[in-house]
Structure 1
């Protein structure tokens, strides 16, 4: 499983260019992040770790 910062959502946010991101590309990135968080939350026993991720 990739780390949270390797998700495409964060790559899109961190790009320095001013390129336009399509709605589809952004939606897919959000879905990928949501799936990652859902998988992580079912495997993580310590909810404080998940809360830190969400507050990040």
Structure 2
């Protein structure tokens, strides 16, 4: 697909992949737009690992 090379792309990639341990995938189709899929693990929050199910997730 067509992936942007701008500052915003780099900021998002650094945050998601570097700081949050997640992954990001762009699916672009010319004339149709771009779909961005971000996966961020919910294992760790600021106060430590999640030990109980999170309602609604």
Instruction: Give me the TM-score of the superposition, normalised by structure 2.
Output: 0.28
Give the structure, 1 or 2, with the largest relative contact order (CA under 8 Å, sep 6 or more).
1
| Greater helix content | 1
| Greater strand content | 2
Point out the structure with max Rg over C-alpha: 2
Instruction: Give me the TM-score of the superposition, normalised by structure 1.
Output: 0.29
